[in-house]
């Protein structure tokens, strides 16, 4: 019975988006992975008892090689010797295997069709990565998920592997089928050093994936503040958009107060609107995040924005309706009209938020009393005419009255 084979992937990935770009290593450039010998699936070979995804018996490998066993076989999952050596971080096994004349570093392994270089970078093995590169491994080979060894170095958060692969000529212009770039993967894996290294090589800082998220949006959503700071330092757009709002809306929705601080401190627009025409302040009120509400107001957020009608304060109405008394105190501004406060009182009463209604009524009464106290007092007649003119007028009235009495 003929055994199935794992065919090699004929990958000819462009380097830095240019087919004519010269490789730092001419031999690697000339390598054609399409002619790599396929691995033969041999699940019954006894060697697989000693070599698995989780363990690698180097002595068993040495005996197997001395017995003239084939090195171009794979276990039932499609993994061959070289991949398993890299996966198990066995430099001794890698060196032994790479000395064998029939070993091909560009054979694909497993259901994800990876190279041993993917495994080495994914494990953060700098020496193994360097050794495989020296043996002409395809530096830009993509696995079934669209990932290159450079992508895998971001998964392992290995700065050494990342720098080594970049220096060796790995393409930085990589997107997976979901539109995620290398910087997205660095953000997803909370790899701040990787973000800094990639930005040093001028990758696009604001590129969006298929979900409309930039690396900064991802870092904010996951609460990875070291990455957030590195991206902002790298000139990421603090007013950037997601599909439904700005990054500030995004930070508020995910309750990332530190990210809110970072965005505001770097000059983002605090009164911007999302697709529902809601401000970040309104979202903070809706989520009952009083620390965010206080911070946003202190930094210029206007409860009356957008002013669809004079003095309208939508965040105040929402807070009143839900009984957020402490928030109401923060949200009442000089620009808020009395009729809006009256409406807020009625809304809180209608939802049985008695304490809030009483608080708002007290605030309204204080405002009315203050307005009365500040009203100018109407001047007396003597103040209008002057004292001498006023006395003359009084004397005239007195003379007229005396003449009338005499007649």
Q: Which of 125-129, 238-242, 354-358, 384-388 has the lowest mean pLDDT?
A: 384-388
Instruction: Report the pLDDT value the prediction gives residue 386, as an integer from 0 to 100.
Output: 56
The CA distance from 153 to 164, in Å, is 10
pLDDT tens profile 139-176: 999 999 999 999 999 999 999 999 999 999 999 999 99
- pLDDT score of 273: 97
Check whether 134 has a pLDDT greater than 80: yes
pLDDT band with cut points at 50, 70 and 90 for residue 91: very high
Q: Collapsing DSSP states into helix, strand and coil, what is residue 158?
A: coil
For residue 154 the two structure tokens come to: 């971001």
Report, as an integer, the average pLDDT of 365-394. 66
Q: DSSP string of 25-46? A: SHHHHH--GGGPPPEEE-TT-G
Q: What phi and psi, each to the nearest 5 degrees, are found at residue 100? A: -80, 135
26-32 mean pLDDT = 35
Question: Which residues contact residue 374 at a Cβ distance below 8 angstroms, ignoring those fewer than 6 apart?
Answer: none
User: How confident is the model at residue 359, as a pLDDT?
Assistant: 96
Q: What is the pLDDT of residue 242?
A: 96
CB-CB neighbours of 46 under 10 Å: 9
CB 161 within 8 A of CB 129: yes
Query: What one-character DSSP code corresponds to residue 114?
Result: B
* pLDDT tens digits for range 50-61: 999 999 999 999
**Domain segments of the chain as ranges:** 1-15+23-170, 308-374
- Non-local CB neighbours of 345 within 8 Å, separated by 6+ positions: 320, 357, 360, 361, 364
Residue 5 has pLDDT above 60, yes or no: no
- What was the pLDDT predicted at 278? 96
Per-residue pLDDT tens digits for 212-258: 999 999 999 999 999 999 999 999 999 999 999 999 999 999 999 99
**Can you identify the CATH homologous superfamily of domain 1-15+23-170?**
Ankyrin repeat-containing domain (1.25.40.20)
How far is residue 205's CA from residue 196's CA, in Å, rounded to a whole number? Answer: 11
Lowest-confidence region among 34-43, 332-341, 354-363: 34-43
- With 60 as the cut, is the pLDDT of residue 11 above it? no
Predicted pLDDT at 33: 37
Look over the chain and give the mean of its residue pLDDT values, rounded to a whole number: 87
Share of the chain above pLDDT 90, in %: 79
Name the more confident of 397 and 155.
155
pLDDT on residue 229: 98
8 A C-beta contact, residue 355 and residue 325: yes
């Amino acid at each position: 019975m003929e055994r199935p084979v794992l065919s090699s992937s004929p990958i000819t990935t462009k380097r830095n988006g240019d087919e004519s770009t010269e490789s730092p290593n001419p031999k690697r450039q000339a390598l054609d992975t399409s002619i790599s010998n396929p691995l033969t699936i041999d699940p019954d070979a006894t060697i697989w008892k000693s070599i698995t995804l989780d363990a690698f018996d180097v002595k068993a490998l040495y005996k197997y090689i001395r017995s003239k066993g084939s090195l171009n076989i794979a276990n039932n999952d499609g993994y061959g010797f070289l991949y398993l050596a890299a996966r198990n971080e066995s430099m001794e096994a890698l060196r032994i295997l790479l000395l064998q004349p029939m070993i091909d570093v560009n054979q694909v392994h497993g259901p994800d069709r990876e190279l041993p270089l993917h495994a080495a970078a994914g494990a953060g093995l700098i020496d193994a990565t360097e050794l495989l590169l020296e043996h002409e491994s395809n530096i830009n080979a993509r696995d079934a998920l669209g990932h290159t060894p450079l992508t895998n170095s971001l998964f392992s958060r290995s700065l050494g592997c990342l720098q080594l692969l970049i220096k060796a000529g790995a393409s930085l212009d990589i997107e997976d089928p979901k539109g995620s770039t290398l910087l997205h993967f660095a953000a997803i894996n909370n790899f701040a050093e990787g973000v800094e290294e990639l930005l040093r090589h001028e990758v696009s800082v604001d590129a969006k994936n298929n979900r409309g998220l930039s690396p900064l949006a991802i870092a904010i959503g996951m609460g990875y503040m070291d990455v957030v700071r590195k991206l902002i330092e790298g000139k990421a757009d603090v007013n950037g958009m997601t599909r439904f709002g700005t990054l500030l809306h995004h930070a508020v929705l995910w309750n990332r107060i530190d990210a809110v601080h970072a965005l505001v401190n770097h000059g983002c627009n605090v009164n911007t609107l999302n697709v529902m025409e809601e401000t970040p302040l309104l979202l903070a009120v809706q989520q009952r995040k009083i620390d965010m509400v206080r911070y946003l107001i202190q930094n210029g957020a206007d409860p009356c924005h957008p002013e669809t009608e004079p003095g309208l304060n939508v965040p105040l109405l929402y807070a009143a309706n839900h009984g957020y008394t402490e928030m109401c105190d923060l949200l009442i501004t000089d620009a808020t009209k009395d009729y809006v406060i009256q409406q807020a009182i009625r809304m809180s009463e209608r939802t049985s938020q008695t304490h809030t209604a009483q608080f708002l009524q007290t605030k309204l009464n204080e405002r009315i009393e203050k307005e009365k106290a500040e009203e100018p007092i109407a001047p007396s007649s003597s103040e209008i005419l002057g004292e001498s003119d006023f006395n003359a007028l009084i004397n005239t009235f007195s003379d007229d009255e005396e003449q009338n009495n005499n007649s």
